[in-house]
Amino acid sequence: MRTSQYIIATLKETPSDAEVISHQLMLRAGMIRRLASGLYTWLPTGLKVVRKVEQIVREEMDKAGALEMLMPVVQPADLWEESGRWQEYGPELLRIKDRHNRDFALGPTHEEVVTEFVRKEINSYKQLPLSLYQIQTKFRDEVRPRFGVMRSREFVMKDAYSFHLSQESLQQTYDKMYQAYCNIFERLGLDFRPVIADTGSIGGDASHEFHVLAESGEDDIAFSTESSFAANIEKAEALAPKDTADAATQELTLTDTPNAKTINDLVEQFSVNIEKTVKTLIVKASDDVDAEYIALVVRGDHELNEIKAEKLDEVASPLEMASEEAIRDVMGASAGSLGPINCPIPVIVDRAAAVASDFSAGANVDGKHYFGINWSRDLELPTVADIRNVVEGDPSPCGEGTITIKRGIEVGHIFQLGTKYSKAMNAGVLTETGKHQVLEMGCYGIGITRIVAAAIEQNHDKFGIKWPNALAPFQVAIVPMNMHKSHRIPDIANAIYDKLVAKGIEVLFDDRKERPGVMFNDMELMGIPHQIVIGERNLDNNQVEYKSRTTGDKELLDVDDAVDFVLNQIKNA
């Protein structure tokens, strides 16, 4: 490709609304442009990268035995009524009406459609197991689209679905997919980790997320320092402390604390150790409980884990924090002065808070806290549960080492769905014995467009993107200097270009009448891994210069060796 025939569309300045580096670089490198909130146009350079990702995913899915198909983006509401998700899914599901006033949705995912397909077409156990996938545009009406294509409303996703007679068969395919995902991210050249995950609203049993590690990630991942254990912080268990509470050394005292509204205030004003404080959060109770609200108690330095909390039988799901008015109504005090003593509603205390001694907490009277509280002595120890986020240094749930926490970008997610959709939509086959049996299902997603952004988060420097070879929109950039003033330069540049193209290499030949600095900067911004610089100075010695974008290394090559050298660089990368 010659730049004169192409859209370079690079930007010198960073658009003001791009916060994360991948968003900035994708705009500056001329990969994407924003059309509206959460909607992006892919320019030729960006699309080339998307296609690279798609192709690798496609090859590995095919290898894993999945069959590619393509389902509609627009889906009839009836199917969603059948699965129950027309009600459940909420405003993220964009609903539309056709000219006959019939309800449809823009597909955020395709469990319903694929299940409908399978229940019609697959009738016998002999046709199982079956894995189907597609690579397609999805739409989710995100509350808050941000970070460019990292969290956009419209995005390209690979979604796969598998169907089985038994849980064992599902497990086998799940394992195969797990391996296929590892292969994919390996081939993409990304630093990634599979992590144990919550199944979220899709529902089901086993689940892993695949995360690309990056500072800008939106998820916290808990790793063990000693083993390969990794889990989304939502799911990482905070083990019960081995020790029991220390013996009480302080008297219970009620103290005026008019200016202590937060744990930090309390710690600063009364110089107490933050680990000797607890905070009390009020949430809606579930219908199982004979109370409208439940108090959750965690140590002052810990954070409530909402996923864990809403899984408790006593707590309403989805989790709902009590409003300020409700708190005042129920507790008789405002949020800054709550505590477990004299608490009028049921209390659930976190494992760590349950072994605190001589600790302080609100008194459920405005402007008053208790100090020197001890469980058993001053109040009965309530129900204990794991309701907090793990923190650095906690013992790892796998039993080996301690926890470290890193940020990750979720680029893939695999689930064992079980029979959630097949049962609701009555998808089954006849077994060997002629009995009708509901299918076990698995579902496997990869965010294609999100991977493009994640790859940039992981591979960039101050000059721009540094594409891993597998993702680069072009393998080689030819940068001829002052070509219009020379006969030699265009001759050599064209010859090298033709030879590389004949070898099937994607080459970007910068034939613009630009200054060298402009060309260098654009090629580096776009992250093209291999650069050949052709100028009069080196041609006097019959040489051209090679430069690697990844390492920055430069090397002088004989003109005749240049093509083979570059081919080797590409092959060995």
* Positions that interact with RNA (CB under 7 A): 10-13, 15-17, 19, 36-38, 92, 138, 142-147, 151, 155, 157, 200-202, 218, 306, 318-319, 321, 410, 413, 445, 447, 450, 463, 481-482, 485, 514-518, 520-522, 524-525, 533-538, 545, 547, 554
Which of 10, 45 has the CB closer to RNA? 10
Which of 19, 265 has the CB closer to RNA? 19
Which of 255, 482 has the CB closer to RNA? 482
Q: Which amino acid is at 377?
A: R
- Tallying the residues shown for the chain, one arrives at 573
**Beta carbon of residue 61, minimum distance to RNA (angstroms, whole number):** 16
Which of 148, 372 has the CB closer to RNA? 148
Whole-Å CA distances, 309 to 255, 301, 362 = 31, 17, 21
Q: List beta partners, residue 556.
A: 545
**Beta carbon of residue 545, minimum distance to RNA (angstroms, whole number):** 4
Which of 379, 455 has the CB closer to RNA? 455
DSSP 389-432: ---TTSBPTTSSSBEEEEEEEEEEEEEEEETHHHHHTT-EEE-T
| N-terminal to C-terminal alpha carbon distance within the chain | 22
Which of 74, 556 has the CB closer to RNA? 556
> What is the sign, positive or negative, of the torsion defined by CA atoms of 381, 387, 388, 393?
positive
Q: What angle do CA 439, 231, 152 make, to 5 degrees?
A: 75
What span, in angstroms and rounded, lies between the C-alpha atoms of 440 and 417? 7
Structure tokens at 313: 């039988």
CB 125 within 8 A of CB 75: no
Query: Which of 439, 519, 537, 423 lies closest to 478 in space, CA to CA?
Result: 519
Which of 274, 518 has the CB closer to RNA? 518
Which of 213, 355 has the CB closer to RNA? 213
Q: Helix crossing, 167-188 with 44-63: angle to 10°?
A: 140
Q: List beta partners, residue 466.
A: none
**Beta carbon of residue 148, minimum distance to RNA (angstroms, whole number):** 9
**Beta carbon of residue 140, minimum distance to RNA (angstroms, whole number):** 7
**Beta carbon of residue 147, minimum distance to RNA (angstroms, whole number):** 7
What span, in angstroms and rounded, lies between the C-alpha atoms of 204 and 184? 24
Q: What angle do CA 528, 533, 538 make, to 5 degrees?
A: 160
What span, in angstroms and rounded, lies between the C-alpha atoms of 460 and 426? 49
**Which residues fall within 8 angstroms of residue 205, CB to CB, at 6 or more apart?**
199, 415, 416, 418
Which of 24, 374 has the CB closer to RNA? 24
Cα atoms in the 13 Å half-sphere on the side-chain side of 288: 8
Which of 59, 142 has the CB closer to RNA? 142
For the beta sheet containing 543-548, the strands, ordered from the edge strand earlier in sequence to the opposite edge, are 507-509, 476-480, 530-534, 543-548, 554-558
